[in-house]
Structure 1
Amino acid sequence: MNLRSLLLTLTVVAIAALAVLNWNALAMSVPMSLGLATVDAPLGVVMLALTALLAAFALAYVLWLQGSVLMETRRHGKEMQVQRELADKAEASRFTEMKAFLQTQSQQTHAALMERIETLESRLLARANESDNSTAAYWGQLENQLHLPRRVLE
């Protein structure tokens, strides 16, 4: 129990104890002025009733304030949940966009690599054909040179 609650409880207990111990004095009827008129009434009981009424109003105010704070906290919690969901959706959207961007980049890179490989392959085939043609030409020249001396001799 915190200090405020303890002080409030002690005050209520003290008022109740004084009222019980001094009930005869509180219940004694005395002339009481109401401003325009004077009436005979027990002043102690009237003051005790007004104190109880003030305590009831204070308690009602505290309960109303606590309720409004709880309602505000609940509303704030709901708003925070909505904002959290929006942030999650935005983050998921960014991840989706990033995934699409990376896939596009990957496809473009793959296409560029495939094009380059095809170009290199075609150049390699052309070079191999040139090499085959050159080798065949050299073989043909060698055969001609080998066959020429025999024809000349014949």
Structure 2
Amino acid sequence: MLLLLLIFLLAAFTALNWGVFVQPAELSFGVATLQLPFGLLMLGLLVAVALVFILFAIYVQTGALLEVRRHTRELQACRELAEKAEASRLSELRHVFEVAAEKQENRQQAFEARLTAEVAQLGSGLRVSMEESVNSLAACIGELEDRLERDRRS
């Protein structure tokens, strides 16, 4: 914006003083002397320097834009790599949890099977013990009945 203002002011100054700019003057170039409009020569040199400056600014801006683009691509690649690593870690963690849950389920099933077997074994042992007690009690009752009958007969 400031550059455009300066160009406008220079153009206005040149237009207002055009007569002075085109007035010929004797200029020495060291080996030769020429009759040229000094103002026009200086204006031409100013325009040439301004063009060189503008081209240099465009070159610097282009380099900066290319550098920003390269950094953006590198940043995107790093972001994708980090996302893949995070997904891999999450997948591995999920696998570890699944394996742990499967082991726990297997332990639970084994415990239930052992518990069921022990309960069944205790139940059959209790049945056998009850049968023996019933038989023993029946034998005792039978013996007592025999004694009572003998005592009644005698």
TM-score by length of 1: 0.89
Counterpart of 2:37 in structure 1 is: 42
1:80 and 1:59 map into 2 onto residues whose CA distance is 31
2:89 and 2:144 map into 1 onto residues whose CA distance is 82
1:72 and 1:149 map into 2 onto residues whose CA distance is 113
Counterpart of 1:69 in structure 2 is: 64
Counterpart of 1:94 in structure 2 is: 89
Q: Could you tell me how far 1:45 is from its partner in structure 2?
A: 0.2
> Larger radius of gyration, structure 1 or 2?
2
What code does the residue aligned with 1:82 have?
A
Structure 2 residue runs of 5 or longer lacking an equivalent are none
Counterpart of 1:24 in structure 2 is: 19
| Deviation digits for residues 78-137 of structure 1 (CA, Å, limit 9, x no counterpart) | 111111111111111111111111111111111112212222222211211121111111
1:114 and 1:147 map into 2 onto residues whose CA distance is 48
TM-score by length of 2: 0.89
* Structure 1 segments of 4+ aligned residues over 6 angstroms from their partners: none
Counterpart of 1:80 in structure 2 is: 75
Q: Number of matched residues?
A: 149
Counterpart of 1:144 in structure 2 is: 139
Q: Could you tell me how far 1:150 is from its partner in structure 2?
A: 2.9
SS class of match (1:112): helix
1:10 and 1:103 map into 2 onto residues whose CA distance is 71
Counterpart of 1:51 in structure 2 is: 46
1:134 aligns with 2:129: yes
2:96 and 2:61 map into 1 onto residues whose CA distance is 52
2:76 and 2:49 map into 1 onto residues whose CA distance is 40
Q: Could you tell me how far 1:35 is from its partner in structure 2?
A: 2.4
* Equivalent of residue 98 in structure 2, options 72, 95, 103: 103
1:132 and 1:36 map into 2 onto residues whose CA distance is 136
| Deviation digits for residues 2-57 of structure 1 (CA, Å, limit 9, x no counterpart) | xxx23x22221221111111111110111111123221111000000000011111
Percentage identity across paired residues of the two chains: 27
